[in-house]
Amino acid sequence: MLHNQRMLQRLSIHNLAILENVDLRFQEGFSILTGPTGAGKSLIIDSLSLLLGDRASSELIRAGEEKATIEGEFVDRNPALSGLLSKLGIPMANDHVVVSRLIGRTKNVIRVNGAVVTLADLNKIARLLATIHSQFDFARILNPDNYLEIIDGFAFDLIHTYKTAYKDALAVYRDKVAKVNSLREQKRKIEENKDFYSYQYNELMAADLKPGEDAAAAEEVATLRNYDKFYGLIQEARSLMDGEMLEKLYDLRETIHRLSAIQSQYGEVEEKIQDHYAELEDLFRETKRNFRDIDYDPARLEELEQREFDLAALKRKYHRTNDELIAYRDELGEMLSHVENIDGDIEKAEAEAKKAEEACRQAGNELSTVRRRTASHIEKELTSHLRDLLLNARFSIVFMTTESFTDNGIDFVDFLIETNIGEGLKSMAKTISGGEASRIMLAFKAVELQANRVSTAIFDEIDTGISGEAAMAVAKKIREIALRTQTIAITHLPQVASLSEHAFLIRKETRGGRTYTEVKELGLEEKIEEVAHLISGGKVTEKQREYAREMILDQ
C-alpha cells in the first residue's frame, strides 16, 4: 500500500457523450476498470486525457446539452508541482490540485484550483500529476525519430536543463553563422554590381540633390510663369490695405461707442469691433511687411524649368521621390565605402561564429554525456523488467554522434534488442513481434514511471494480445508499479483484474430512449463474479467462479 498520498482522488464527468453523471472515487494502490466493449471505458480515458491537456471538441458534448464538464481532484506533495503552480500564480491548499474542463458549444474553459489557465500551462502541470499509456504508444518505440525524446523523458528534469543550455548555444551559433552568410552575400552582390552601383552613386552625386528642392522649385516656377497675375494681385492687395477700410471700421467703432453710452447693450458690440480692429491692424501691418517685389527673370525661369526636367527624369529612372533618391544615394555611398572594410567584418564574424560553434559543441557533448548515462540506466532497468515479464532479452541503446547540430543535439540513437538468444542484437523497430510488443511497452513504462515518479499511472488496455503465463507476469508487473504509483488500468485480462485492490465495473443501459453509462465499485463477491466473467468470456460456470475466487484470494 502506498503511503505518500500522491494520487487521483476523484473524477467527476457530466454530459460527456453517454456519460451523463459519473462520479468516481479512487484510492491508493491498484484499481481496474472492466466492462463490455462500448460501455464507455474509452470515454473515461478520454476524460482523463482532457484533464491532462488533450484538446477538447464540442462533439463530445452529450446530445441535447450545451456543455460538458470534467473535474479531477489530485493530492500531491511534489515540491516541483507546488513550485510550478506558484510560478503560474495558482493557489494550492492542503496539497490538493483540482483540474476542471468546461467544454461548451462555442467556448472552452480550463481551471486549476479555480484559476483560469491556458492549455499549454495545463500540459506543464499535468506532466507532474499523471500519465496515460495505451497500446497505441508502442508505435512511438518503433520509430527511431522518437528515441531521443523517449530517453529525455526518463530523466526529464535533469536532461531539460542540459537541453535548454544546448538550445540557447545553438541559437547563438545559428545567429552568428547567419551574420557571416549575410556579410558574404553582401560582398558578393557589391562586387558583382560594383560598377553599376558606382555609376548610380556618381550620377546622383552629380545631381547635387537637396531635400525638398523639387517642391521649392515648382513653387518658384509657378510664380515666374504667372508673374503678371501675381504682380497685379500684390498691387491690388496693397491698394485695399492702404485705403479707407480700417478708417471706416474705426469710424464704425466710434459710432457704436456713442450708442453704448445711451444703451448698454451696444457695449458688447463695441468691444468685439475693438478687438477685430486691433487684429486687422496687426494683420495688415504684417502682410505689407511680407510683400516682396519680384523681378521677372526669364533666365531664372529657364534654369528652374531645366532643373525640374532633370529631377523628373531621375525620379522616373529610379522610381523614387526626391527624398528617396537622396536616401538611396547615401545608401550607395555607405555600401561602396563598406566594401573596403567588409573583409575585416567577415573575418571578425567568422571568429565569433567559430567561438559560438565551440560553445555549442561543448553544450552538445554535455547533453550527450547525461543522455548516455541515462541510457545506461535504462538498459539495466529495462532488461530486468523484461525478465520479470518472461522475456529473456538483451537490450541496448546505441549512440551515433554527428558533426552537425540538430534541434535535439548531436546524437542519433537506435534501440537494439535480442529476444531470441543467439540471434544477435537487431533494431527493435524491425524485429518486435505482436506477442512481445505489449510486454516490452510495459517494461518501458515501468522504467519511466520509476524515473519520473508521477502521482498516477493510467493504463488503457496495455495488456492486449497477452494470455497464459505471460498474462500473469504482466499482472504482477502492473501490481508492482502500483506499489510505488497509484495505478488505474482498463483491462480484459482476468489475471490483471484478480490482482487489483479496487475494481470498477462500467456498463451501459438504455432508459427512455437514451443511453447511459454507469460505473459501480465492486465488492469482493462482485469482483469474483466479474473475474469469472472475464475468464469465461460469456456465461459463467460455478467452476469458473471458484477459479476466480482462488485467483483473487490466493495472492
Side-chain-side CA neighbours of residue 163 (13 Å): 17
Which carries the bigger pLDDT value, residue 555 or residue 420? 420
Q: How many CB atoms lie within 10 A of CB 446?
A: 24
Domain with 473 in it: 1-129+454-522
Q: What is the pLDDT of residue 236?
A: 62
Task: Give the lowest-confidence range in 177-191, 222-236, 260-274, 344-358.
Answer: 222-236
Which carries the bigger pLDDT value, residue 454 or residue 290? 454
d(CA 23, CA 8): 13
Model's pTM, two decimal places? 0.68
For residue 397, being part of any structural domain is answered with no
Q: How many CB atoms lie within 10 A of CB 187?
A: 16
Across 233-245, average pLDDT: 63
Q: How confident is the model at residue 293 (pLDDT cuts 50, 70, 90)?
A: low
For residue 24, being part of any structural domain is answered with yes
For residue 1, being part of any structural domain is answered with yes
Let me know: does 507 contact 36? Beta carbons within 8 Å. Answer: yes
Diameter over CA atoms, the chain: 132
* pLDDT tens, position by position, 143-157: 888 899 889 988 888
Let me know: does 151 contact 378? Beta carbons within 8 Å. Answer: yes
d(CA 107, CA 109): 7
d(CA 153, CA 444): 11
Q: What is the pLDDT of residue 415?
A: 93
For residue 20, being part of any structural domain is answered with yes
Q: Please report, for the domain that includes residue 105, its CATH number.
A: 3.40.50.300
Which set of grid coordinates corresponds to residue 218?
515648382
**Exposed / middle / buried, residue 304 (Cβ in 10 Å: 0-12, 13-18, 19+):** buried
Torsion over CA: 474, 476, 478, 481 (sign): negative
Let me know: does 130 contact 143? Beta carbons within 8 Å. Answer: no
For residue 90, being part of any structural domain is answered with yes
| Continuous segment of H or E residues that includes residue 72 | strand 67-75
Q: How confident is the model at residue 2 (pLDDT cuts 50, 70, 90)?
A: very low
> Does residue 283 register a pLDDT over 60?
yes
Q: What single string gives the DSSP state of each residue in 428-455?
A: HHHH--HHHHHHHHHHHHHHHHHHH--S
For residue 105, being part of any structural domain is answered with yes
For residue 263, being part of any structural domain is answered with no
For residue 122, being part of any structural domain is answered with yes
d(CA 311, CA 208): 10
Helices (H), 10-78: 41-51
Let me know: does 118 contact 108? Beta carbons within 8 Å. Answer: no
> Does residue 31 register a pLDDT over 60?
yes
- Span between the terminal Cα atoms of the chain, in Å: 15
* pLDDT tens, position by position, 475-497: 999 999 999 899 999 998 999 99
Q: With b meaning 16 or more CB within 10 Å and e meaning fewer, what string describes 351-378?
A: ebbeebbebbbebbebbbebbeebbeeb
Across 537-549, average pLDDT: 89
Give the count of domains, the chain: 1
Let me know: does 480 contact 30? Beta carbons within 8 Å. Answer: no
Q: What is the pLDDT of residue 264?
A: 72
